[in-house]
Amino acid sequence: MTEFRNNFPNSKESPVWLTIGNFDGLHLGHKALIQKLCSKAAETNAQAVAITFYPHPRVFFGIEKDPYNLMTRGEKNSMFEQLGLDQVITLPFNKTLASMAAENFLSELITHFNLQGMVMGLDFSLGKDREGTIPAIQAFMRRFRIQVLRESPVLLDGQVIASEAIRTALGNGQPELAAVMLGRPYSMSGKVQTGKKLGRRLGLPTANLTIEPEKFVPKYGVYASKTWLDGKSYASVSSIGVRPTVEENGTPNVETLILDFDNDIYDEEIKVEFVQFIRPEIKFENIGDLSKRIEKDKEEARSILKHGS
């Protein structure tokens, strides 16, 4: 079972192999790095430990604004546990940490961990002004006879798989491409909220999810999707957006119509996986036109999911 902490341990515990990064999305490149870390830790009977940060440094510095993260903290921690890490430390990214010199941060690692080695991404850097490049980290750790291994990136069609490439794919309405890089479909989870029940009055009962404020929102529109409820997957069609036909200045949400399903699932936890983009969000002239288009969306989603299964 993975131990989750928000600070360094007070005393040196068992031997540790360590990695550091934002790990946003925990895509195939991140997974390869963590698998290497766990393998090296197992070879030396050490713990595999990841250090990550919250909020994302690019959000902290104002380079990006929320919603930016491909995963919520809960989603990330759940996947860290699935990947077999012994310990995950999420440090608060604040002014103190942002202004810390790389050597000072590395000295903290030596102080708090019985460090055997590190596995880092090829282009990783840390510390003020990103001065702690991999060669600089290796030079520092060499003084303590600690290995620093570099893990090569994972490529897709010759391009490095990276969190920003995944955000670009989702923003362009390409969830299939994002899924290849993530190693799984992009998804949103949460409790089904009580809405205005317009869909139910139209004979099209939908499940509404409120989007987490930090969670990256794919291109607004309608998607063929899969919805998970109680460990079972259902074919569905989902809309991401602000419902312009029925609301003014609406807050973005996910509205999912599970096909051939009419159970009351208010307050139930569901996960919606986005499979393929069908069409952009449209403001229809009236509810009747919206209803007709939803019927067409349903049939398109059925066809996509049938041929994709």
Spell out the per-residue pLDDT of the chain, length 309, in tens.
999 999 998 878 799 999 999 999 999 999 999 999 999 999 999 999 999 999 999 999 999 988 999 999 999 999 999 999 999 999 999 999 999 999 999 999 999 999 999 999 988 999 998 999 999 999 999 999 999 999 999 999 999 999 999 999 999 999 999 999 999 999 999 999 876 655 555 556 889 998 889 999 999 999 999 999 999 999 999 999 988 777 766 788 899 999 999 888 989 999 999 999 999 999 888 888 888 999 999 999 999 999 875
Tokens found for residue 297: 């969306």
Q: Does the 3-160 domain belong in CATH 3.40.50.620?
A: yes
Distances from the Cα of 35 to the Cα of 31, 54, 146, 191, angstroms: 6, 23, 19, 32
For residues 274 and 175, the answer to whether their CB atoms sit within 8 Å is: yes
| Residue bearing tokens 């430390």 | 89
Burial readout 185-206 (b: 16 or more C-beta within 10 A, e: otherwise): bbbbbbebeebeebbeeeebbb
| Of the candidates 73, 68, 104, the residue with the CA atom closest to the CA atom of residue 4 | 73
DSSP SS3 for 258: strand
Measured in degrees and rounded to the nearest 5, phi and psi for residue 202 equal -90, 0
Q: pTM of the prediction? A: 0.93
CA distance to 104, 134, 215, 221, per residue, from 206 (Å): 53, 49, 21, 15
CA distance 222 to 37: 39
CATH 3.40.50.10800 is right for the domain spanning 169-308: no
Domain borders along the chain are 3-160, 169-308
CB 115 within 8 A of CB 109: yes
Which residue from 81, 89, 65 is spatially nearest to 16, judged by alpha carbons? 89
CB 294 within 8 A of CB 212: no
